[in-house]
Structure 1
Amino acid sequence: MPNYQAELDAVLRALADPTRRAVVERLSVSPAVVSELAAPFSMALPSLMQHLRVLEDAGVVSSEKHGRVRTVSLRPGALDVLHLWLGEQRTPAERQADRLGIHLARTGSKDS
């Protein structure tokens, strides 16, 4: 098992919720203040803050407070662990597909 398993688990848990995924999609464009992030959702501000806390605890976002305004941004490289894990999962499947392609090419040429 990779040594980044705990980080991967935290990111996957954080992104399992559609609201949190929508927040991450929005933050991929630019940082935003909490009130701006809350606008598209029909939920109370404390509920959105809970979602942001989950994302922050997982290391996906970071926030800064300036006066009464909290700005949230996507942490650079926060989703790299997903890319790494998906790449590791894709490799065996791609090898199997390559072997199948070779097999089909061989058997297809014999039928000609």
Structure 2
Amino acid sequence: MATFLYRLGRLVFRRRRVVVMLWAAMLVAVGVGAIRSSGPTSDGFSLPGTQSQRAIDLLGKEFPQASANGATARVVLEAPDGRRLDSDAHGSARESLLARLETAPQVAGVSDPFAG
């Protein structure tokens, strides 16, 4: 291995101008490739067909005034089969969760779709 590295170093030293030109050409090729392959960026993200995407689509349909502009998170609650989230039995649990979310760090606002 030492002999191989010695010979490689000697070759690179003797052909240093060619080696520098090859490295420069590779850097230019990588730069051009990066520029040509970059496309427009998007801050949107969706996974069609997943439960979470269906929930977000349903929220947008049912509550269009609460769009995702500026929102970084949404909490979706699901009632057990045959029950409703707006019932009194689930009201205290829902209100407790909303209170904990309001006091969470970096939360700008929490809205209750059942309030009012």
TM-score normalised by L of structure 2: 0.26
TM-score normalised by L of structure 1: 0.27
Structure scoring higher RCO (CA < 8 A, sep ≥ 6) equals 1
More strand by share: 1
More helix by share: 1
